[in-house]
Each structure stands twice: as structure tokens, then as C-alpha cells.
Structure 1
Amino acid sequence: MSVHDDDLVPVERALASHPEFSDAPAITLKAAEFYRFALDLLCERSRTVADLTAGIRDETGEIPVAVTEDPLVRVTLDEAVSRLERGFLSEDAWTEVVTMLRLVSDALRIHGPTAAPTGAGISAGRRVRVSPGRDAWLCGTGRGSTAPLDGTFLNTFERDFLRGVPGDLLDPTEDQARLLDDGFAALSALLPELGASVAAHYIGVGVVDVRTEGETFLAGNVGRIPGVVFFSPNRMAAPWRFAETALHEGLHLKLFDIQRSASIFAAPERLGDGPKVKVPWLKWASMVAPNEWALDRALGAFHVYAHLVLFRAALRTRLTPELKERFGGPEAQDPPSLYRFGAERAHYLGEEILSRGGDELTDHGREFVTWLLETTAPVKEDTHV
């Protein structure tokens, strides 16, 4: 059966094309516009910021996309805008903005006006092909680098990604770079529209050795390094395992950008004290893995589960002899899906979010959850795979 005329096509297309909830060009454009607006807002309040920003603008007067995508720029601007919304911006906050703009300006002078300020240095120019026509920068360790942005990135990785857990950011080998390319290619071959839509939210990719007790680290991203996903070598060894993990992590990146361009929750800062969703498939609770989730965590899991139902269905119906020859078959002892019974869990979480959300959900947020439930409902899951 052709990938382009099977029963999954309408669902995949919907998950990749809704103008507010899934269309990557529209969502990433809105996110870039938010950060441009944030800089304009800060320029109105600081002559120094205005002067530094003027040196970053391109010939049309716009802030380049490479700058608005940069994870360190985004975090700095997010924090500054958050402080402004609370009615103040301290001298320290202004210093952070000014310092970041100076570092970005220096990086653009060194690497060129269209280079990713952080990515150009920390990757040493290496790239990963995350979908046809799109690359993400491939993190290295910045070994021997004295560039301030490289040091800031590495410090942020240690503080906010590892958070005291033993681990290292690795310099990817040529074989690891090839495995990354192969895994992303497998995702694009299986789900061409959804793969491209998710890949659009990848800015950077890293390889990590994280040594956790009692569990195997697979992959992860963190809000203070937005758009960058760190993969464990053990998850890169088989293309279909990696494809699912890349989809999973990319969906987290997509949801972040969706929430950047439109409000799903009325007051995100109060969700920690708000209603919780009981997670019946987690029998035990711990500090690391609670079995009651705040609405934002439940939304992130719901968003991933719903899409992985499509991934599993595509793996059953679209795995042609050509794809098996190119990427191999799923490992029998390790089914590609990390989430059995995904359809049931997605339905449960979506309904719980709607029923418990109350005033915590905006009208837009309620529409988003309802749309995702309805869009993925036609996909049936085979729990024996």
C-alpha cells in the first residue's frame, strides 16, 4: 500500500496542518514574531538595548530567524518579558539582556549574519538532517573554546539539564552523526508530513551520556534550552526506536511553540497548585515519578500519546519491503513504541484535562484538546504489536 493513499493520510495531514495547533510554518513564525516583539518592547525602554538590537537587524530591519530561534536568546527574552508583565525589570535583568545581545552581536560578526549565534560555535559547523530540507545544529562539547556563548550553553546544560545527575555532553562521533541522520530519515519516510512538521521545531541536537540509577536515560529536553534535544547513544542504535523517540521529543518542542504563540492555560504559573490528573497506570508515586499530574504535565503526555498512536499504526501498515531493506525491521524484543495502550491513555488524559480544567483552560486550550481527541479518534491501536 502506498504511504500516500492509505487510511492514515487524513489523520497525519490534520496533525501536520491545523493552522493554530499543528502547522509548523505558522506556529514557528508566530514564535519568532513573539521574540521580535519582545525585543521591540525592550528597545522602547532602554537606549542601550535599542542600539545593540540595531546592530543585529538585517538589511530589511528585521531580527534574523537564527537569532529568534537561538535557545539562549529565547530564555533571556522570556525572563525579561515575564518580569515586565509583573511590573518591574531589575537592573540585573537589564544586564542579562544587554550581555546576551552583545554576545550575539559578537557571534554574528565571527560566524556571519545568518549563522545561529549559539549553534555556530557549540557545533563547530556540524549539522544533522532532521527532515528533507531542514537541518539542526549538532552540539559538541566546545572543547578548547573560549567563546562566551559556548560557555553559557555548557553551564546551562550542566545546571538545568543534568541538574546534579551524573552525565556528560559528548562530542558525537561520525558513526553517531550517521545514526542520527538515519533515525530522522526513518521518521520522515514513515510519516512524511508529520515528520517534517515536528522537525521544524528542532533547533539543535546533542548526544549525552546520562548515568541514572534504576532506569535507562533515552532522550530529553529542558525549557531553558528550548528547541534542543539530547539523545542517549543507546536510543540511537536502531532507526525505528530512534524515530519514535525523535517524534516524542519533537512533540514537546512543538507544544512549547504552540503555547508561546497562543495561551492554552489562563494562568500557567498557578498550575502547580491547581487540579491534578490521577495516572492509573502508575501504581506507585515518588518525587521523581508522581502518579498525579498537574494539568500542564498531563497535556504534554496527552499530546505525545495521541501522536504515537498514529506512529504505531503507520509502523503496522506502512513498513514496506523497501523501508525494511533501508532501515531494518522493529526489534522483536523491544517494540518501537514506548507506550502500549497509547490510544486508551490519550483518550483518558484528554477527557480528564477537559473535565478538570475548568477555569484553568482558555477557550483556545479547550478547543486544542478537543481537536486532538477528535482528530486521532479514527486511528485504532493494535495492542498485540
Structure 2
Amino acid sequence: MSVLDDDLVCVEHALASHPDFGDAVLSTVKAAEFYRFAVDLLCERSGAVDRLATGIRDESGEIPLAVTEDPLVRVTLDEAVSRLERGFVDEAAWSEVATMLRLVGDALAAHGAQAAPTGAGISGGRAVRVAPDREVWLCGSGAGGLTPLGRTFLDVFERDFLRGVPGELLDPAQEYARQLDTGFAALHALLPELAASVTAHYVGVGVVDVRTEGETFLAGNVGRIPGVVFFSPNRMARPWRFAETALHEGLHLKLFDIQRSASVFTAPEQLDDGPKVKVPWLKWASMVAPNEWSLDRALGAFHVYAHMALFRQALRTRTTPELRERFGEPEAEDPPSLYRFGAERARYLGAEILRSGGALTGSGREFVSWLLESVDRVEGVEGGVRV
């Protein structure tokens, strides 16, 4: 290992292991505990919910991890807890929680206690290997029949992901599954420790055809389907191109889980009406791509760009002949690739977010400063300086 790669290993380890902002084991455990606590909280207030939850618990009395990771379960619990915090849960809200727990119980009874409830209803048993030791479910369009949870998932996909844009969730062909497996393998070969810490936040993957006018859809996820990323086939055919996109989208999933336990903003409910960050590389604004971002959107982009600085340097120094033989040549001039601008844009966004002053908690300022330091360390490696 060269001196420069040894420095990159140190940066990668830091990004993957920070106890509050990097360690996937800690952040996913904290997220699971939040949802277990949410179920217990609701059980204290509803006998019907308590009875349904009892049928889901494992032998130790815990809600299984596959349930606390389930995207539809998470959204339902988030909304119920939010209503509780405001002091009011109406009959319709209790009905939504009860219905979700009943459908989850039916899924576990049909597919086994360790099955992912929604995944079992939408994947037909298909999976993608996102890490050497981790598989996640691969969404299907339901041509062979769907469970009630699967139908609910498709409804949420239409309403909250597509939001009126022409498109569809594709029934993944064998070639798509192979491309996904290969692309995730490329990411792990390049950045093994960081990739493991990011893919731990994936619970599902889908292949989509989204037809946006004047723009090329690459990949995306949405808060109402947490843990699931939808990729366009045009981003899957080349392993290195896909590896960048899988890292990008996985970082959004990771930030969601980080914010479950680390308070970043002092008043997150007021961010939409708060200060905005001007985005100089977006010359024109559109509904899809406004050129002024709220602080939470700026933070999400900053989090990605800070890691893309490392991705860029790893492509330069770690693509050995063996990796080129296995995954092909990296596309250094690929126009959609964000890693070329990672350090520059991370520094700009980080500085703008820090200028927001009281909008950030102490933990939030630490988070942003820590990521800026990691960018400086990567840039020091690139310049041949041992940091």
C-alpha cells in the first residue's frame, strides 16, 4: 500500500466509523430502537394496537428488525408519533396503524418471521446483493400478483415518487439484476469500508422508467419510501457509473438514519420558511431543480459532495488492472458524474450552512465541520501532502 493510499484508508475509515455520523451499525440500531419505541408508545394508548403488535413480536418480545426497517411501517409510525407529539391522534390515524400492523402480521405468517413484510409482497423473492454479506429486495411490478402490502407500495410509488411524472416501476429482467449486483460489487471493490457503511441503509431497490421532459432521470429516493432507491436502466449498464450513483443515493438514506438520533437543526419544522442557500451551478430554476435550497436540502447535497471527493480520489488511485479487467475503465469525462465537482461544491455548501448560525445545533455544527475536514484531508492526499 502506498503512502497516499494509506492516507485515503484513514479518511475512508473516519467517514465510515464516526460514532454519531458514520458508523452504520450504531445509526441503524438507533433507528430500529426509535421505531420499536414508537410501537411501544402507541401500544400504551391503544388496546387494539397492543394486541396486533403482540402477534408480531419475536420470542424475546421485540419487534423484528425486518419490521422496523420496513418503509411502509416506518412512514405509518412516523405519522402516528408526529400526531401524538401534537397532542392529537384521531380515529383514522389509529385505524392506519392497526391496518398496517395487521398486514405486517399476515406477511410474517405467510413468509416467515424474518421476512421483510413489504419486500415479500413486492419482490417475488428476488434480491440484489448490495454488499458481500447483505441482500435487499428487488421491487417488481406485480405481474404475478401482489399482496395487500405490495399494492400499497405501488400506490405510494405512484403518488409520492412519480408525483404525476410519466413513468413506471419495471419488472426487473435478469440482466437488470446482474447489472445491479455488478455495480454494487464495483463500489465495494473501490471503497470497501465506506460502501459497507452506506449499503447497510438500503432495504430495497427498484428499476424505473421515468420520462422527464428535458432532463435525464438517473436515480432517486423519496422520504415516504425510506430505505428504497429507484435506478434508471441508463445508469446501470456501466459499473463505475452505477457505483457513483449507488453511493450518492445511499448517502441520502444514511443521512435520514443519522438524523433519527443526531439532532442537526434547532427547529427542523421551520426549515421550509427559513434561510436559503443560493446554488451557483444551477443557473436557472425549475420546479424539479430550484436554484435556492432550504438548509436541509443543502445539507443532503453537502453530505453527498463531501463523500464524492473521496470517491474521485479513489477512482484515480485504486483502479488496479484487476479492477479494470473486472469492471471496465472509469469514465472520467462522464458529464453526469458529480464526483468531479465534489470538493469544490462541498466546501461552498458547508460554508453556507455554517453561516446559518442559530439554525444548527451544536451537533449539527460538529457534523458539518467534520465533513469539511474530511474534504481537506482528501484534497491534501491529492496534492501529495500527508495530512
Verify the 8 A CA contact 2:122 2:146 in the aligned structure 1.
no
1:26 aligns with 2:26: yes
- Residues 309 and 250 (structure 1 numbering): CA distance in 2 closer, same or farther, change over 3 Å? same
Verify the 8 A CA contact 1:140 1:169 in the aligned structure 2.
yes
Percent of counterpart pairs with the same letter? Answer: 78
String of CA shifts for 1:34-92, please: whole Å, max 9, x gaps: 00000000000000101110110000111000000000000000000011111111111
Residue 232 (structure 2) aligns with: 232
Residue 247 (structure 2) aligns with: 247
Residue 359 (structure 2) aligns with: 360
Residue 54 (structure 1) aligns with: 54
Verify the 8 A CA contact 2:306 2:374 in the aligned structure 1.
no
Verify the 8 A CA contact 2:204 2:229 in the aligned structure 1.
yes
Residue 91 (structure 1) aligns with: 91
TM-score, normalised by the number of residues in structure 1: 0.96
Residue 293 (structure 1) aligns with: 293
Verify the 8 A CA contact 2:299 2:349 in the aligned structure 1.
yes
Verify the 8 A CA contact 1:136 1:204 in the aligned structure 2.
yes
Q: Which runs of 4+ in 1 moved over 4 A?
A: 1-5
Aligned counterparts of 1:336 and 1:189: Cα–Cα separation in 2? 22
Offset, 1:257: 0.4
String of CA shifts for 1:307-362, please: whole Å, max 9, x gaps: 00100000000000000000000236526732433211101111110111x22211
TM-score, normalised by the number of residues in structure 2: 0.96
SS at match of 2:289: coil
The aligned runs of 1:1-385 (5 Å cut-off) are: 1=1, 6-331=6-331, 333-334=333-334, 337-356=337-356, 358-380=357-379
Aligned counterparts of 2:289 and 2:309: Cα–Cα separation in 1? 23
Offset, 1:132: 1.1
Root-mean-square deviation over aligned CA pairs: 1.6
SS at match of 1:130: strand
SS at match of 2:129: strand
SS at match of 2:55: helix
Verify the 8 A CA contact 1:27 1:257 in the aligned structure 2.
yes
Offset, 1:3: 11
Aligned counterparts of 2:339 and 2:2: Cα–Cα separation in 1? 26
SS at match of 2:311: helix
Verify the 8 A CA contact 1:3 1:318 in the aligned structure 2.
no
Offset, 1:287: 2.5
String of CA shifts for 1:101-139, please: whole Å, max 9, x gaps: 000000000000110000012111111000110111111
Verify the 8 A CA contact 1:39 1:77 in the aligned structure 2.
yes
Aligned counterparts of 2:69 and 2:201: Cα–Cα separation in 1? 9
Counting matched residue pairs gives 382
Aligned counterparts of 2:60 and 2:98: Cα–Cα separation in 1? 23
SS at match of 1:9: helix
Verify the 8 A CA contact 2:28 2:257 in the aligned structure 1.
yes
Gaps of 5+ in 2: none
Paired letter, 2:217:
F
Aligned counterparts of 1:247 and 1:254: Cα–Cα separation in 2? 10
